[in-house]
Amino acid sequence: MYVFIFPNLDKKNCDKTVRSACEFLSQRDVTIYMSEFYEVRFSDIKGIVFEDENICAERCDIIIAIGGDGTILSASSLACEYQKKLLGINCGRLGFMATLEHDELYLLENLLSGSYHTEKRHMLDVLIKRKDSSDRISVLNDIVISKPAKMKIADFVVKKSDCYVSHLRADGLIFSTPTGATAYSLSAGGPILEPDMECFEFTPICPHTLLSRTMIFSKNTSLEVSFENNYENKEQSLCLIADGNELDTISSSDRVYISMSDKFIELIDIRGGNFFMSVTNKLMRPLKSSEEE
């Protein structure tokens, strides 16, 4: 078996977890790949093949992301592009998408024996059309369009096939997959969706109305999003944030098109739990303190 270790060393226990995982896997004749970026840090561990991360993703059978949910999101683009299964090991606080905690590495034995199942998680396709160019991206959690801190409330327009879906004033809009429904959208008042549902949701951020609520759209829906200039925000631009990473700004002349993607990743559930167990254990209890991380 060939495994690509994808770590986030900003997490307190990550270094130790990476070393323990590498020791466990190498003792079982697993070939371990890691980005050449970490060669200096882990050069003392024998048997690791350090390569460009795209080469690592292409050659491996499974990607193991060690960190938090953000680490899993970062690894998901490679998992999607190269169609590799993705396992998350949590060294952060919530780790909602992770199937293992950093002190449960003995369960990696199930990975080697094939005693696990996978969950297909669809992504969102996002097309940004400008006057002279266009960009396409895919996200696993969400795409957020929001005003910068110094800008006043923005006027948004959301359409489906030239029909108005929503015309509202708000701090921003969140478009999320069922996977992302437990992330920013949940904090903004959106519902929890089972992750295998074929749909996506639209949640406004602090809308200036009593009637605005999350809307859920079928997999065949394509939405067009724009914002309008007015006297208060003339010539202003909005922030475009994909899976927590700020990509660019958009102007009032730009259009953003959002639809459910045919692309997906396969998340490994190595412990045999289920989605609602994670909801109960991780969303309905206090977060870990920094001492527990």
Q: Are 62 and 89 in contact (CB under 8 A)?
A: no
69 is catalytic: yes
Q: Are 97 and 65 in contact (CB under 8 A)?
A: no
Distance between CA atoms of residues 269 and 89, nearest Å = 11
Sheet holding 142-146, edge to edge: 215-218, 199-205, 172-176, 142-146, 238-242, 245-250
| Residues pairing with 227 in the sheet | 156
Selected catalytic residue, list 29, 69, 132, 196: 69
Q: Give residues with Cβ within 8 angstroms of 84, minimum separation 6.
A: 4, 57, 60, 61, 62, 63, 78
- Catalytic site positions: 69
